[in-house]
Amino acid sequence: MAGLVTTSRFHFPDPNDGKTPKSYGLNFRWIEFPSPDGVPLKGWYIPAEGKARGTIVYAHGHNRTRVEMLPEAAFARGLGYNGLPFDLRHQGRSGGNVSTVGYSERLDLVGAVRYVLDTEKVNRPVILWGVSMGAAASLLAAAECPEVDAVVSDSSFLSFSDTVKHHFKMFFGLPSFPIADEIIYCTAYRGHFHASDFDLVKAVERIGERPVLFIGVAGDRRMPPNIARELYAHCASPHRALVILPGTRHGEGFKDAPQDYQQAVRQFLARVASEPNAQEVSHGYRVTGDQTGPAPKP
As a whole number, mean pLDDT of residues 104-114 equals 97
Question: Is 280 a member of any domain?
Answer: yes
What are the two backbone dihedrals, phi and then psi, of residue 265, each rounded to the nearest 5 degrees? -65, -40
Number of domains in the chain: 1
Helix axes 200-207, 225-234, angle to 10 degrees: 40
Q: Output the pLDDT for position 16.
A: 58
Pairing of strands 29-34, 40-45: antiparallel
Give the CATH number of the domain where residue 8 resides.
Answer: 3.40.50.1820
Question: Is 56 a member of any domain?
Answer: yes
H or E stretch at 82 = strand 81-85
- Name the residue with higher pLDDT: 47 or 170: 47
Q: What percent of the chain has pLDDT over 70?
A: 78
Q: Output the pLDDT for position 15.
A: 59
* Rounded Cα distance, 81 and 93, in Å: 24
Question: Is 106 a member of any domain?
Answer: yes
Q: Tens digits of per-residue pLDDT, 182-192?
A: 776 677 777 76
What pTM value is reported for the model?
0.84
Nearest to 228 by CA among 165, 286, 144: 286
Q: Which of 91-105, 126-140, 205-219 has the lowest mean pLDDT?
A: 91-105
Q: How far apart are the first and last CA of the chain?
A: 39
5-9, 32-36, 218-222: range with highest mean pLDDT: 32-36
* Rounded Cα distance, 278 and 273, in Å: 10
What range defines the domain where residue 71 resides? 2-13+24-294
Sequence-separated (6 or more) residues with CB below 8 Å from residue 34: 40, 41, 111
As a whole number, mean pLDDT of residues 33-44 equals 98
- Name the residue with higher pLDDT: 253 or 274: 253
Q: Answer for the pair 117, 96: CB distance below 8 angstroms, yes or no.
A: no
Nearest to 128 by CA among 120, 111, 119: 111
As a whole number, mean pLDDT of residues 221-243 equals 94
Q: Which amino acid, one-letter code, is at 66?
A: R
Question: Is 18 a member of any domain?
Answer: no
pLDDT at 293 over 60: no
Q: Which amino acid, one-letter code, is at 178?
A: P
Question: Is 19 a member of any domain?
Answer: no
| Interior angle at CA 212, CA 94 and CA 85, nearest 5 | 20
Q: Output the pLDDT for position 170.
A: 65
Q: Output the pLDDT for position 123.
A: 92
As a whole number, mean pLDDT of residues 219-237 equals 93
| Cα pseudo-dihedral 176, 250, 244, 91, rounded to 10 | 100
Q: Output the pLDDT for position 12.
A: 57
Q: Output the pLDDT for position 125.
A: 97
Question: Is 57 a member of any domain?
Answer: yes
